[in-house]
Amino acid sequence: MSTKRKRVTFTVVAPEAVKVVLSGSFNNWSENADLMKKDETGTWKKIKMLPKGTYEYKFIVDGTWTCDPNCPDIVRDAQGSENNTIVV
């Protein structure tokens, strides 16, 4: 069985934000494991190396859970809120 991982870049534009975290099924929905970095254009970025599979995720922008506005793939979770999905 292959444990090959693929480089996945997550981005969100939030120039006014102070802190953005990437949270998802790949990190147990951690609220601090994957801090994102902001560039000079106000775009926050995080690169993850993920094995093949389907993952759910959201951004936490200054404490507010936010769907990825650039990802049209949305599912409802068991609590009825929406998450983005990505297939690696």
Q: How many domains does the chain have?
A: 1
pLDDT for the residue numbered 29: 97
Report how far residue 69's alpha carbon sits from residue 27's, in angstroms, rounded to the nearest whole number: 21
- CATH code: domain of residue 58: 2.60.40.10
What pTM was computed for the model?
Answer: 0.92
Q: Which domain holds residue 43?
A: 5-87
How far apart, in whole angstroms, are the C-alpha atoms of residue 68 and residue 61?
11
What is the reported pLDDT for 68?
97
The Cα 39–Cα 31 span in angstroms is 21
- pLDDT tens digits for range 16-69: 999 999 999 999 999 999 999 999 999 999 999 999 999 999 999 999 999 999
Is the separation of the CB atoms in 22 and 48 below 8 Å? yes
